[in-house]
Amino acid sequence: MCDLFHESRAGGGALEYNRADMTPENASAVEPEPARMGEFSRLTGVFFEPGKTFADIAERPRWLVPMLLVIVAGLAFYFLYGQHVGWERFLRHQMETNVRVQQSMERLPADQRDRAIAMQTKFMGIGYYFGTIVGVPVMYLISAAIVLGIASGLMSAGVKFKQVFAIVCYAGLPGILKHALAIVVMFLKSPDEFNLLNPLAFNPAAFLDPISTPKFLYTGAMALDLFTIWGILLTAVGLKAAAGKRLSFGGALFAVVLPWAVLVLLGATIAGMFS
């Protein structure tokens, strides 16, 4: 009996020895997981805490809310433009700044020219609305696919399409601020002075004459816009957050800037050819 008693105490001691140490010091060493961000926190965090926000976006990629907000902001801007400035004024301004179009319209009799302008005016607003509703998602899809191809295909960043697509959608949020400022400027300026294609003085083209400046130079200058650069930087921040140590910020920035620069060069070349 005595031996059994001692063995039982020895076994109990062994159990006490192997029991996990739950002292307060060791319990506090286990760090809690960071709290996940809600949608409102994400939307504001893109502007104030982009690094933290895009890390959360990369972990849980969602895209619907930012895309809808960008589309609604664009539709509101074009609706107010059609009401306050008018699409006919926009068409006549485009004719004045494009020598080739102006010459072709001058060859038409006055009644045919007026009918052509009236017909184009009817479809111009619809085209901008349709372009916003359809064009924004398509543009985001193409941009995400190209950036993914460069980042994962050439740089082995290991990011997924749904991550890049969500990053591109959230990086477009500064466009809401751009449309809001453009609406304010539109109502402060005379309708004849408001330029739909370049409404804000946040790029070098705002200080160039759209008529006398070569279209290649003017189009390229418009592309160097503060909000465009802001979106590029946000996309690079998000791409770096999604890739982690597999991609540097410089590499992420290169993956975003390269296709944008090619697109700007192509657009400026086409504008110069048909001016």
Instruction: Read off the pLDDT of residues 211-244 as tens digits, 9 standing for 90 and up.
Output: 888 889 999 999 999 999 999 999 999 999 999 9
5 to 8, 9, 13, 16, 182: CA distances (angstroms)? 5, 6, 12, 17, 88
Mean pLDDT within 42-56: 95
Residue 8 pLDDT greater than 90, yes or no = no
**Exposed, middle or buried, 173 (CB in 10 Å: 0-12/13-18/19+)?**
buried
Distances (CA, A) of 113 to 25, 101, 120, 264: 84, 12, 11, 33
Distance from chain centroid for Cα 98: 30
Q: How confident is the model at residue 34 (pLDDT cuts 50, 70, 90)?
A: low
Q: In the prediction, which pLDDT does 66 show?
A: 97
Task: Decide: pTM greater than 0.75.
Answer: yes
Question: Long-range contacts of range 197-206, CB-CB < 8 Å, 24 or more positions apart?
Answer: 197/222, 198/222, 202/226, 202/227, 203/228
Q: How high is the pLDDT of residue 10?
A: 45
Tell me how far apart the alpha carbons of residues 112 and 106 are, in angstroms, rounded to a whole number.
10
Question: In this predicted structure, what is the pLDDT of residue 117?
Answer: 78
Percentage of the chain lying above the pLDDT 70 cut: 84
* pLDDT score of 274: 75
CB 58 within 8 A of CB 163: yes
Query: Judging by beta carbons within 10 Å of its beta carbon (0-12, 13-18, 19+), is residue 109 exposed, middle or buried?
Result: exposed
Q: Which of 57-71, 98-112, 229-243 is least confident?
A: 98-112
